[in-house]
């Protein structure tokens, strides 16, 4: 699996079918398309193209030829409003993190189908780096045990770091260091439970999904976060439950621990990539009957 800056695409406009409506010049976010005084199109700086495909999606006469896209791979929009706002609210508001799973592992075909929705998540792949969503799916009791064991090792080493005299001293001056030291009791509790044979790391989940991206792309954290959120929501429609898991993500990324790479290596994450988001997934063993109220603090500037 390679990650590199892609070559600039070849972009052309078919003069025989172009209606000169100017929509491509209006819709392109990087101004690759420009109009001359005669309404003819000038295509410049194709190295700035971010492969958003907006020019092709918007052109009313299908006159744009783009080497980065296969016209047959575009999904036609048939229903521009597939759900009502009431249904959307009910669906989104009922999604909750679940940490109680059945032993049954979701079929590989289903997990792969669900993960494909990540390709429709928003991102910022400038210079075409990070456009492809990179995901690792883990299933199987033995594999999930490896993830749990390696994450427990990561937690132990993190606790040791956070308990160092340097971090404790820095906590008197840095809010970031103070917040880090503040999670030690929780991490310690989880490690103790793990040593006693109880799983408060992955909660005996039958599967996990890791999202990783090139470290040199423009917004890798955002790209992975939005991809994960899309997958979580789509999974709900199949009766699956998920939980955004920062522990296994941190272990896969080796966050704050220089040289902690064994989980990333187990997941076959390329060296130029980093895991920015991770989740557990499976069939829920509990059913919630209500939704807690969450306040939203809104400030207006108008």
- As a whole number of angstroms, the distance between CA 193 and CA 203 comes to 11
Domain edges within the chain: 11-73, 91-287
Sign of CA dihedral 50, 52, 58, 61: positive
More confident residue, 124 or 42: 42
* Contact yes or no for 285/270 (Cβ under 8 A): no
Residues 17-39: pLDDT tens digits? 999 888 999 999 989 998 776 66
Residues 72-131: pLDDT tens digits? 888 888 888 889 999 999 999 999 999 999 999 999 999 999 999 999 998 877 767 767
Residues 167-218: pLDDT tens digits? 889 989 999 889 988 899 999 999 999 999 999 999 999 999 999 999 988 8
- As a whole number of angstroms, the distance between CA 256 and CA 136 comes to 22
- As a whole number of angstroms, the distance between CA 220 and CA 286 comes to 34
H or E element, residue 228:
helix 220-236
pLDDT score of 37:
67
* Contact yes or no for 200/194 (Cβ under 8 A): yes
* Contact yes or no for 228/279 (Cβ under 8 A): yes
Decide if 11-73 and 91-287 have a common fold: no
Residues 235-280: pLDDT tens digits? 999 999 999 999 999 999 999 898 999 999 999 999 999 999 999 9
pLDDT score of 208:
98
Confidence of residue 132 (pLDDT cuts 50, 70, 90): confident
Task: Give CA separation, 89 vs 39, 95, 137, 293, in Å.
Answer: 44, 10, 29, 14
Question: Considering the chain, what percentage of its residues have pLDDT values greater than 90?
Answer: 67
Which CATH architecture is the domain 11-73 placed in?
Answer: 2-Layer Sandwich (3.30)
Q: Is the pLDDT of residue 61 over 60?
A: yes
pLDDT score of 39:
62
* Contact yes or no for 199/145 (Cβ under 8 A): no
SS3 content of the chain, % helix, strand, coil (to 5): 40, 15, 45
Kindly report the pTM of this predicted structure: 0.90
pLDDT score of 1:
43
Is domain 91-287 classified as CATH 3.40.109.10? yes
Q: Kindly report the average pLDDT of the chain as a whole number.
A: 91
Residues 206-226: pLDDT tens digits? 999 999 999 988 889 999 999
| CA nearest neighbour of 266 among 155, 140, 106, 100 | 140
Confidence of residue 148 (pLDDT cuts 50, 70, 90): very high
| CA nearest neighbour of 207 among 279, 117, 286 | 279
């Amino acid at each position: 699996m390679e990650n590199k800056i892609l070559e600039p695409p070849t972009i052309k406009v078919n003069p025989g079918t172009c209606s000169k409506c100017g929509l491509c010049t209006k819709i392109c976010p990087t101004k690759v398309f420009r109009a001359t005084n005669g309404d003819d199109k000038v295509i410049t700086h194709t190295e700035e193209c971010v492969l958003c495909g907006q020019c092709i999606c918007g052109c009313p006469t299908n006159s744009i030829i783009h080497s980065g896209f296969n016209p047959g791979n575009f999904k036609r929009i048939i229903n521009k409003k597939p759900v009502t706002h009431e249904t959307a609210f009910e669906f989104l508001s009922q999604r909750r993190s679940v940490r109680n799973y059945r032993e049954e592992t979701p079929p590989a075909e289903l997990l792969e189908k669900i993960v494909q929705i990540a390709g429709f998540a928003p991102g910022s792949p400038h210079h075409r780096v990070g456009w492809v969503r990179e995901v690792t799916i883990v299933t199987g009791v033995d594999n999930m045990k490896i993830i749990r064991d390696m994450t427990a090792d990561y937690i132990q080493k993190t606790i040791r770091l956070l308990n160092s005299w340097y971090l404790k001293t820095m906590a008197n001056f840095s809010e970031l260091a103070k917040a880090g030291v503040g999670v030690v009791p929780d991490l310690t509790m989880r490690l103790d439970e793990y040593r006693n044979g109880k799983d408060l790391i992955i909660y005996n989940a039958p599967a996990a999904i890791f999202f990783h991206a090139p470290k040199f792309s423009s917004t890798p954290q955002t790209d992975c976060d939005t991809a994960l959120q899309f997958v979580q929501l789509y999974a709900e429609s199949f009766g699956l439950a998920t939980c955004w898991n920062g522990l296994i993500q941190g272990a896969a990324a080796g966050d704050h621990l220089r040289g902690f790479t064994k989980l990333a290596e187990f997941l076959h994450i390329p060296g130029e990539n980093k895991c920015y988001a991770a989740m557990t997934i499976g069939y829920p063993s509990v059913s919630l009957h209500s939704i807690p109220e969450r306040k939203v603090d809104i400030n207006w500037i108008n």
